[in-house]
Amino acid sequence: MDRQKLIMLPGPTNVSERVMRAMLNPIINHRGDEFRDLYKGVLDKTKRFFQTQGEVVILSSSGTGGVEAAVWNLIRPGDVAVVPVFGEFSMRLAETVELAGGKVVRVASDFGKIPTIDQLKLAMEQQEKVKALFLVHNETSTGVAVPYVEEATKIARDHGAFVVIDAISSLGGYAIPVDRWGVDMCITGSQKCVAAPPGLALLSVSERVAEYLKDSPPKTRYFDLPRYLEYGAKGQTPFTPALPLYYALDEALEELLEEGLEKRVERHNRMSVGIYDGLAKLGLGAVAEKSVRSKTVVASYYPQGVDDSKFRKELAQDKGVVIAGGFGPFAGKVFRVGCMGQINEAYVETTLRAIGETLTAFGN
Ligand SMILES: Cc1ncc(COP(=O)(O)O)c(C=O)c1O
């Protein structure tokens, strides 16, 4: 086995030894008392993390499963959904709504930027009836974050629409107080700012979504949320849970709550400033303008002439630091550094030094 590298990807991210060890707990009966206690604890901690008194569901799936669940539970053929599209993940989200038979009103901007709140407002106003707003909070593909989640939620609610926030790469690095802001469904993934291994999607379900689903059951089996809610009340999942991951998530959430959400958010903020400033000192410019730059995913341009895949390979092999490449129009021109979960001064320093030394080795 390879030695453990420093995983500075925008997910999966570094996982503490304590969380890794939790996965060695015994396999238990997922219909028995032990799992009930474990799952109830996980649900309770997840509610505190999402700042909700409503329901939450943990799916044995990656984040995409969480998005799929939100879409297929809310959208019925012919429903209109407003979807800001400004990168790979928001593009996929819009396509997922179409796969479910929805009509998508795309509110687009160039990649690396975000649509304005006025564009969003206008798009809502131009529709007779909008079933839901699906908003990616943090576009992992370009390193931009939407600063107007609360305002967008209010606008959508004023139009009688449900509000779904894909906070897969941001919740924990940012706080999204689901109840206070009126978010109907918020989704995150275990492998990002929660700092657990990949494989679980966490989502909140508001009272009004739960009510809606009573009269309008979704046409999906694995992502049938009413069934998850019914089983969740008994401390069970409808289908076999990925047990070791639930142990890990329980421990990772415990770590998060021990630190405190506020402190964790502040740490992500501080560390991201360190990364942006450190890259600027190396002469590397961020893709995002300062007002929308993400605190959890830093996307930065390469100096001219640096070969992306060779650079990242050398960084990983020689320095043991793993970062990601660019997406779509940024492929080959941009690298992305995750600033998530366990992120600390030592990781930031090691990463910046490794990038600087490797650039020098590449003649920059
Ligand atoms: C914003 C966003 N949405 C959706 C996804 C898909 O999540 P997953 O790869 O866990 O399925 C990701 C993954 O990086 C993401 O960053």
**Inter-CA distances, 234 with 36, 40, 55, 217, Å:** 7, 9, 13, 20
Q: Is the CB of 288 under 6 A from ligand 1?
A: no
Whether 1 has a pLDDT exceeding 90, the answer reads no
Q: Tell me: the pLDDT tens digits for 122-137? A: 999 999 999 999 999 9
Classify residue 292 by its DSSP letter: G
Instruction: Please give the distance of CA 312 from its chain centroid, rounded to a whole number.
Output: 23
Helix-, strand-, coil-residue percentages of the chain, each rounded to 5: 45, 15, 40
Q: Are 85 and 91 in contact (CB under 8 A)?
A: yes
User: What is the predicted pLDDT for the residue at 363?
Assistant: 84
User: Is the pLDDT at 23 greater than 70, yes or no?
Assistant: yes
Residue 305 above 90 pLDDT? yes
Pick the closest to residue 87 from 11, 148, 152, 138 (CA basis).
138
- Separation of CA 183 and ligand 1 centre (Å): 19
Amino acid residing at 61? S
181 neighbors 153 (Cβ within 8 angstroms): yes
Is any atom of ligand 1 closer than 6 Å to the C-beta of 166?
A: yes
For range 104-109, the mean pLDDT: 98
Compute the distance from residue 206 Cα to the ligand 1 centre, in Å.
Answer: 22
User: How many angstroms is it from 221 CA to the middle of ligand 1?
Assistant: 22
| DSSP annotation of 291 | G
Would you state the pLDDT for residue 2?
Answer: 64
Q: Which residue intervals of the chain bear CATH 3.90.1150.10?
A: 6-12+260-361
Q: Alpha helix locations (H) across 167-307? A: 178-181, 207-215, 225-232, 243-259, 261-281
CATH 3.40.640.10 segments of the chain: 17-258
Mean pLDDT of the chain: 97
Ligand 1 atom with the shortest distance to the CA of 136: 1
Band (3; pLDDT cuts 50, 70, 90) = confident
CA 20 / ligand 1 centre spacing (Å): 22
The reported pLDDT for the residue numbered 364 is: 84
Residue 170 near ligand 1, beta carbon < 6 Å: no
Confidence of residue 148 (pLDDT cuts 50, 70, 90): very high
pLDDT of 256 higher than 90 = yes
Q: φ and ψ at 335, to 5 degrees?
A: -115, 160
pLDDT in tens, 54-90: 999 999 999 999 999 999 999 999 999 999 999 999 9
Mean pLDDT of 148-157: 98
Q: What is the pLDDT of residues 233-247, one digit of tens each?
A: 999 999 999 999 999
Domain 17-258 -> CATH class: alpha beta
Q: DSSP state, 26?
A: P
Closest ligand 1 atom to 11 CA: 14
What does the pLDDT look like over 260-295, one tens digit per residue? 999 999 999 999 999 999 999 999 999 999 999 999
Sequence length of the chain is 364
Fold annotation for 6-12+260-361: Aspartate Aminotransferase, domain 1 (3.90.1150)
